[in-house]
Amino acid sequence: MKGLHFNIHTKIIAGYLFILICLVISLLIVMNRMSAMQQEVDFVSQHDIEVHNLANQIQKNVLDMETGMRGYVITGNEEYLEPYHTASRNWLDNFNKLHSLLASNGSQQRNLDEIKPLIQKWFTNSAENVVNQKKINNQAALDQHFNNNKGKKMTDELRAHFDSFLENQNKLTSKRVEQLNQDNNNLKITLYGLIIVVTLITIATAVFLANSIVNTIKQVVRTIKNVTDSRETEVDLSTRIEVSTHDETRELAEAMNELLSSLEKQNWVQKGVAEISTMYQGMTDLTELTHAFITKLTPMLDAVYGVVYLRKSQGSEVRYVKEAGYALVSEEAAGVSFGLGEGLIGQAAMDQRIFLIDNLPEEHFKVSSGLGKSSPRNLLVAPILVDGRVEAVVEIAAFQPFMAQHLTLLDLLQDKFGSAITNVAGRMEVERLLGESQVLTEELQAQSEELQAQSEELQMQQEQLRITNEYLEEQKQYAEQRAFELKKAKDELEEYSRKLQLSSQYKTDFLANMSHELRTPLNSILILSQMLMENDEEMDNSEVKDSSRVIYTAGSDLLRLIDDILDLSKIEAGKIEILTDEVNVTEIPQMMKNMFNPVAAKKNLNFEVHTAANVPAVITTDGQRLQQIWKNLLSNAFKFTEQGSVTVNIEHACREKVEELLPGLDEEEFVLAISVSDTGIGIAKEKQEIIFNAFQQVDGTTNRQFGGTGLGLSICREFTRLLGGAITVESEPEKGSTFTLYIPGRLEGADYALQLEQLAQNEVAVSVIEIEEQLPVNEEPETPEEIEAEASDDDQLFKGKKVLLAEDDRRNVFALVTALEKKGVKVQVAENGKSAIELLQKQADFDLVFMDIMMPVMGGYEAMKVIREDLGMERLPIIALTAKAMKGERDKCMEAGASDYIMKPLNINQLFSLMRVWLTQQVNEE
Amino acid sequence: MNNTTKETLTEINLLEPNELEEIEIKLLLEGLYQMYGYDFRSYVRGSIGRRILYRMKAERLPTITALLEKVLHEPGVLERLLNDFSIRMTEMYRDPSFFAAFRNEVVPLLRDLPEIRIWHAGCATGEEVYSMAILLKEEGLLEKARIYATDMNEKALQAAQKGAFPLKKMQQYTKNYLKAGGKMAFSEYYTADHQFAYFSSSLNEKLTFAQHNLVSDSSFNEFHVILCRNVMIYFDNALQQQVHGLFYESLADGGFIGLGSKESILSMPKGMKYAEFNSTEKIYRKKVDA
């Protein structure tokens, strides 16, 4: 169907017309055929009937003539001649009519022609003759005639002719009817044929029409689907619908194609905008930004040359300075800068509009490649507007003319590029300022440090000056100085003697105490012995005995006291040897009874010793020391009990008690508990601890009332410790006391001895500190010479610094105080947080605080918080003393306000290092 | 240097009467470079200018040219000037939050490495180097770590090698250490006399101090961590880019780079090759090449 350019409208109408024409033609054919048949039928029905009628008429005419003639002849009545005459007048007419009817049929005409002479012959020869004879009444002729029978032969012949004629005619008619039937059948066949042909034509036309319309529409649809169904996310807008027809579908396709190309342009613009806009992200440099922009934009606009001019203001003058270019021939090729209104660049900036110039003269400028140079003929100058201000101007040149979408793209980019420029410029500025501020800060810091260094240097110089001055003065006052030195030496000597006095004060006091203890028995010994010496026989024997006994008792008391002191000092010196041996526990009750039954009897006291069943028979320990301990306890019990009883229980120590008192001990270890209960004077709660200290009894009068050195319990406790055990007291005044001795069932020999040595040394410390606490003056442990020799900057750092030590553990306190005082640090001790705070409130000039964390009454965290918050001492360095570092504890320390922390066990060097840090004046502290 | 127009203007106005001075500064820097090879020509001009002026006044000289003369003819002056140039304020655990972030976020990722190489570029007197060593020790990583601490200033390096820091700053350092999440007592790591705290030599075993000039020297190893904090703020843009190129080259894939709080790597051409690991503490991680 190519080349036939019909639209769908025409196609449909033409199709219908074609079908209609086919129908009309077939209808005409059928009509034609039908009218032909009708003619045939008419012919058969009219012509043949007429022929028959006429033939019959002629026969009747002949019959009428014969009948009339015969009637006349017979009757002679003229009336019979009437039909005869009518028939003789009519028959020829009928004959001629029939003849003319049979004109188409030669053979029948000929048959008919044969009949005519027969009738005429009969008429003339027979009928006319008869009638005429009659008229003349010629009977004979008549009779002769009828006798001849001439007339009858003629009518028979005539009849025979007529019969054959009619028979022929009938044959003819039936033949025609048959022909008619045949025709009818033919017509039916023709009709069916036509229906089939027309149907086929109609279907063919419909199919062709439908195809020619639908095919193009399908093509359009297929193309649109191709456009939209592309698998990539981006729709391929470059496809176009191809149509070969020239109908409305083509118009549709063309409209679609137009839509596509407009979409493509729009898409191109959007893509361009997006591509260039995303490019800005992360850019922090204007040159980079403008360069990226022009490099991207120029090829996008199919241009070959591009420059970006950026707005730079110098005072009131605004210039647009070339910042980046694309395909620049050389630096000179593009003007470096333009003022407002200067050249096209300046004009575009001033008018804030786009300049589009076509057909540049060839010599305007040339773009060169390696092979040659050519001139772009189209120039585009576009200002980049931000908030009504032209921030930049873009100049682009191309060989081809710029298209509408190029301008749209540029128009859309204007805003984005403009704001990108301001953004980047802003960011650069912020970065620059940040950097500058950082540099300035650093410099300031550096300078302030330097200033400080300078001021220190100045101070040093001043110091040097002063020293020089002093030196000069010293030179001048040499003699004076010597005198001064002498005086100083004297002063020093005095100081030494004072210190010596101080140091001897301890010993003096200790001795004073000791001497008090020694003097008491000595006093009685001396007095009594003097009395005995001056005995002038006034004394009777019993008096002498009594005195001697008292002297003896006092002497043995003294001896015991000296033994005790020696024991104690031996323990303290770590010189007691522990001899482990197997001790038979079952023997102990007997030994006790042997020893103390007499005393019990004497004081009239009930004395009982119970041994529990589950106590093992043998334990390994130092039997002698053990005996010394229980002996001591028992003698105390008997000493302080006036009435009632003394009870000893030997049993298996209960587990909880052991864990509490002897935490280091193996759980499986058997521990023997020996408790000594009395019903004596008892000990008040607050005194229960100090009774174990040397020279301490419940009160000063006790000694005198009950005797004893007051060292017994101290020794007991030390021995107990040596045996790895513990001793406790439970007591109520006026009701009695119970001392319980816990001794492990197995005392290890060698290993333990070493431990004991250390333990003993610790105990020395404790004992000494206890002594020191009792004595009013604390002695410097070092000799003055040593102090003098070590005088250094480091000592300057420590000397005279006041340190507050909040710590409840006496051993730690002792160790720290000793160490710190060696350095010349003044230490004050607080037993808990609360007393530390009280001390700080009283005296705020401490340089450093050591704060233990676990303390009774008020712990370290709370104390630090109070110091920082309530006392407002924010700058006071507080060093937390923590047990082994745990992260939680460390954080809590910091949170509570500790400046630093140090972990136990303390390392003395670390401690001093830390103190040096915290005692040094800091640079940035005001 | 690209400034927005307004600021260019003010700068021009400021500098215009001092054009001569500008030329003198250029000459001095050029002279330094030609004579001794120290290249400060790409340093931020404002800062270096102020330092030159400071040195000029300190030496009681009338002009920068006079200072140039002294620098060329009296070696002592050169040393003082160089010291002025490379004054870097540094402290132990400077910006404690940085070290805390390093400890909590970076260290877990370093744990599996068989060996950890750290480059501390521009270490100055070494405070941060020791800080890092202590941090690694507490995390149990010091044994397999090696810290290369470099600076262009030999004097500073000598000081750094000693690991002795003035007592008068130690209280601040202690606070920083604690803020940076220190796990022990800070005093465990130093012994002090009346002037300095000396950091223990056990830390020093894993430290290598070497002179290295970021401006002129090239990369010398591949590192897992590079620290260069508050060094590049003194460099101009081009030099910063050059140094970042050097770092990029020296950093292993997936390695970390730590910068000063006012610095950023993302504006650099190589910036896209790093992922922001901790943006507030300026820790970046080199992307693994696909």
Interface test with B, best of A443, A851, A876 (most B CBs within 10 A): A443
- List the beta strands (DSSP E) in chain B: 116-121, 145-151, 164-166, 190-192, 196-199, 207-211, 223-228, 251-259, 274-278, 283-286
Mean pLDDT, residues A393-401 taken together = 85
DSSP state of B235: B
Residue A693 — very low, low, confident or very high, per pLDDT cuts 50/70/90?
A: low
Residues B178 and B266 in one domain: yes
DSSP state of B105: I
Q: Check whether B82 has a pLDDT greater than 90.
A: no
**Cβ partners under 8 Å of residue A328, min gap 6:** A305, A307, A334
Q: What's the CA angle centered on A411, arms A409 and A413, to 5 degrees?
A: 65
Q: Which residue on chain A is closest to B88 by alpha carbon?
A: A442
Predicted pLDDT of residue A620: 86
Domain annotation covers residue B211? yes
Mean pLDDT, residues A496-503 taken together = 76
CB of B34 less than 8 A from some CB of A: no
Q: Check whether B71 has a pLDDT greater than 80.
A: yes
Give the burial class of A357: count Cβ atoms within 10 A of its Cβ; 0-12 exposed, 13-18 middle, 19 or more buried: middle
Domain annotation covers residue B192? yes
Q: Helices A106-122 and A48-75, interaxial angle, to 10°? A: 10
Find the helix or strand (DSSP H, E) in which A726 lies.
strand A726-732
CA dihedral A612, A617, A618, A624 (to 10 degrees): 60
Residues B71 and B172 in one domain: no
Q: Which residue on chain A is closest to B165 by alpha carbon?
A: A917
Q: Any bridge partners for residue A620, and if so which?
A: A582, A746
Comparing A33-37, B83-87, B156-160, the range with the smallest average pLDDT is B83-87
Dist. CA A747–CA A581, nearest whole Å: 9
Q: End-to-end CA distance of chain B, in Å?
A: 34
Dist. CA B153–CA B155, nearest whole Å: 6
Q: Which residue has the higher pLDDT, A815 or A595?
A: A595
Domain boundary among B20, B52, B85: B85
Q: Which two tokens stand for residue A670?
A: 């058997």
Mean pLDDT, residues A508-516 taken together = 55
Residue A63 — very low, low, confident or very high, per pLDDT cuts 50/70/90?
A: confident
Q: Which residue on chain B is closest to A792 by alpha carbon?
A: B194
When the pLDDT of each residue in chain A is averaged and rounded to a whole number, the result is: 78
Dist. CA A783–CA B61, nearest whole Å: 57
> Domain tally for chain B?
2
Contacts of A911 in chain B (CB under 8 A): 187
Contacts of A793 in chain B (CB under 8 A): 194-195
**Cβ partners under 8 Å of residue A168, min gap 6:** A107, A108, A111
Residues B279 and B260 in one domain: yes
Predicted pLDDT of residue A335: 67
Q: Which residue has the higher pLDDT, A502 or A546?
A: A546
Does the beta-carbon distance from A287 to B89 stay under 8 Å?
A: no
Predicted pLDDT of residue A878: 93
Dist. CA A854–CA A865, nearest whole Å: 15
CB of B60 less than 8 A from some CB of A: no
Residue A746 CB neighbour total at 10 angstroms: 14
Does the beta-carbon distance from A282 to B44 stay under 8 Å?
A: no
Predicted pLDDT of residue A507: 52
Mean pLDDT, residues B11-18 taken together = 51
Domain annotation covers residue B91? no
DSSP state of A805: E
Query: What is residue B207's three-state secondary structure?
Result: strand
Residue B117 — very low, low, confident or very high, per pLDDT cuts 50/70/90?
A: very high
Does the beta-carbon distance from B194 to A913 stay under 8 Å?
A: no
pLDDT, tens digit (0-9, with 9 covering 90-100), for A275-306: 877 777 777 778 888 888 888 888 888 888 88
Residue A778 — very low, low, confident or very high, per pLDDT cuts 50/70/90?
A: very low
Q: Which residue has the higher pLDDT, A886 or A337?
A: A337
pLDDT, tens digit (0-9, with 9 covering 90-100), for A418-454: 888 888 888 888 888 888 888 888 888 888 888 888 8
Does the beta-carbon distance from B185 to A284 stay under 8 Å?
A: no
Dist. CA A322–CA A290, nearest whole Å: 10
Can you give the residue range of the structural domain that contains B189? 96-286
Q: Which region holds residue A574: left if phi is over 0, alpha if psi is between -120 and 50, else beta? A: left
Residues B106 and B204 in one domain: yes
Residue A475 CB neighbour total at 10 angstroms: 9
Which of B4, B170, B267 is facing A917, going by the closest CB pair?
B170
Comparing A133-142, A596-605, A865-874, the range with the smallest average pLDDT is A133-142
Residues B111 and B157 in one domain: yes
When the pLDDT of each residue in chain B is averaged and rounded to a whole number, the result is: 86
Predicted pLDDT of residue B107: 94
Nearest to A340 by CA among A355, A312, A320: A320
Predicted pLDDT of residue A690: 67
Mean pLDDT, residues A608-612 taken together = 89
Q: Which region holds residue A138: left if phi is over 0, alpha if psi is between -120 and 50, else beta? A: beta
CB of B58 less than 8 A from some CB of A: no
Decide the pairing of beta strands A645-652 and A726-732. unpaired
Q: Check whether A667 has a pLDDT greater than 90.
A: no
Does the beta-carbon distance from B167 to A312 stay under 8 Å?
A: no
Residues B172 and B69 in one domain: no
Q: Check whether A322 has a pLDDT greater than 70.
A: yes
- Percent of chain A past pLDDT 90, that is, above it, reads 5
HEC profile for B127-151? Answer: HHHHHHHHHHHHCCCHHHEEEEEEE
Q: Which residue has the higher pLDDT, A696 or A340?
A: A340
Predicted pLDDT of residue A268: 82
Q: Which residue has the higher pLDDT, A711 or B115?
A: B115
Interface test with B, best of A290, A889, A914 (most B CBs within 10 A): A914
Residues B153 and B64 in one domain: no
Interface test with B, best of A460, A916, A925 (most B CBs within 10 A): A916
Interface test with A, best of B167, B177, B263, B268 (most A CBs within 10 A): B167
Predicted pLDDT of residue A706: 46
Does the beta-carbon distance from A917 to B167 stay under 8 Å?
A: yes
**Cβ partners under 8 Å of residue A484, min gap 6:** none
Residues B81 and B133 in one domain: no
Which of A310, A425, A922 is facing B168, going by the closest CB pair?
A922
Q: Tally C-beta pairs within 8 A across A and B.
A: 136
Comparing A468-477, A547-556, A742-751, the range with the smallest average pLDDT is A742-751
Mean pLDDT, residues A883-906 taken together = 77
Which of B50, B184, B191 is facing A909, going by the closest CB pair?
B191
Q: Helices B127-138 and B167-179, interaxial angle, to 10°? A: 40
Predicted pLDDT of residue A812: 67
Domain annotation covers residue B116? yes
Q: Which residue has the higher pLDDT, A665 or B204?
A: B204
- List the beta strands (DSSP E) in A553-666: 581-584, 606-611, 618-621, 645-652
Domain boundary among B28, B55, B85: B85
Q: Which two tokens stand for residue A573?
A: 């010196």
Contacts of B86 in chain A (CB under 8 A): none
Dist. CA A808–CA A856, nearest whole Å: 8
Nearest to A62 by CA among A104, A119, A108, A102: A119
Nearest to A769 by CA among A726, A709, A717, A819: A819
Between the alpha carbon of residue A175 and those of residues A53, A171, A178, A736, B147, the distances in Å are 19, 6, 5, 176, 136
Mean pLDDT, residues A223-235 taken together = 66
Residues B36 and B132 in one domain: no
Mean pLDDT, residues A708-727 taken together = 77
CB hemisphere CA count around A587 (13 angstroms): 8
Structural contact between residues B282 and B267, judged by C-beta atoms closer than 8 angstroms: no
Q: Which residue has the higher pLDDT, B52 or A370?
A: B52
Q: Which two tokens stand for residue B17?
A: 């009467």
Q: Which two tokens stand for residue B184?
A: 């022990």
Mean pLDDT, residues B139-145 taken together = 92
Q: Check whether A861 has a pLDDT greater than 60.
A: yes
Give the max Cα distance, chain A.
Answer: 269
Domain annotation covers residue B125? yes
The one-letter amino acid at A67:
T
Mean pLDDT, residues A84-92 taken together = 82
Between the alpha carbon of residue A881 and those of residues A816, A850, A902, B244, the distances in Å are 12, 7, 5, 47
Predicted pLDDT of residue B54: 86
Between the alpha carbon of residue A63 and those of residues A68, A119, A132, B96, the distances in Å are 8, 11, 19, 162
Structural contact between residues A313 and B5, judged by C-beta atoms closer than 8 angstroms: yes
Residue A561 CB neighbour total at 10 angstroms: 19
Which of A315, A792, A923 is facing B168, going by the closest CB pair?
A923
Q: What one-character-per-residue DSSP string does A5-61 give?
A: ---HHHHHHHHHHHHHHHHHHHHHHHHHHHHHHHHHHHIIIIIHHHHHHHHHHHHHH
Domain annotation covers residue B27? yes
Domain boundary among B66, B85, B104: B85
Does the beta-carbon distance from B230 to A438 stay under 8 Å?
A: yes
Q: Check whether A770 has a pLDDT greater than 70.
A: no
Domain annotation covers residue B153? yes
Q: Which residue on chain A is closest to B46 by alpha carbon?
A: A436
Does the beta-carbon distance from A920 to B168 stay under 8 Å?
A: yes
What phi and psi, each to the nearest 5 degrees, are found at residue B116?
Answer: -120, 120
Q: Check whether B265 has a pLDDT greater than 90.
A: no
Contacts of A315 in chain B (CB under 8 A): 9
Interface test with A, best of B127, B171, B190 (most A CBs within 10 A): B171
Which of B5, B47, B51 is facing A313, going by the closest CB pair?
B5
Structural contact between residues A327 and A305, judged by C-beta atoms closer than 8 angstroms: yes
Q: Which residue on chain B is closest to A884 by alpha carbon?
A: B184
Predicted pLDDT of residue B134: 95
Does the beta-carbon distance from A431 to B267 stay under 8 Å?
A: yes
pLDDT, tens digit (0-9, with 9 covering 90-100), for A700-712: 334 434 445 566 7
Q: Domain with B137 in it: what CATH number? A: 3.40.50.150
Residue B149 — very low, low, confident or very high, per pLDDT cuts 50/70/90?
A: very high
Dist. CA A610–CA A624, nearest whole Å: 21
Residue with token string 């490649």: A369
Query: What is residue A531's three-state secondary structure?
Result: helix
Dist. CA A888–CA A891, nearest whole Å: 5
Domain annotation covers residue B90? no
Q: Which two tokens stand for residue A169?
A: 């005619």
Does the beta-carbon distance from A924 to B12 stay under 8 Å?
A: no
Residue A667 CB neighbour total at 10 angstroms: 7
Predicted pLDDT of residue B141: 92
Dist. CA B125–CA A176, nearest whole Å: 144
Find the helix or strand (DSSP H, E) in which A672 lies.
strand A671-678
Predicted pLDDT of residue B260: 87
Residues B64 and B194 in one domain: no
Residues B65 and B178 in one domain: no
Q: End-to-end CA distance of chain A, in Å?
A: 106
Residues B60 and B145 in one domain: no
Predicted pLDDT of residue A75: 82
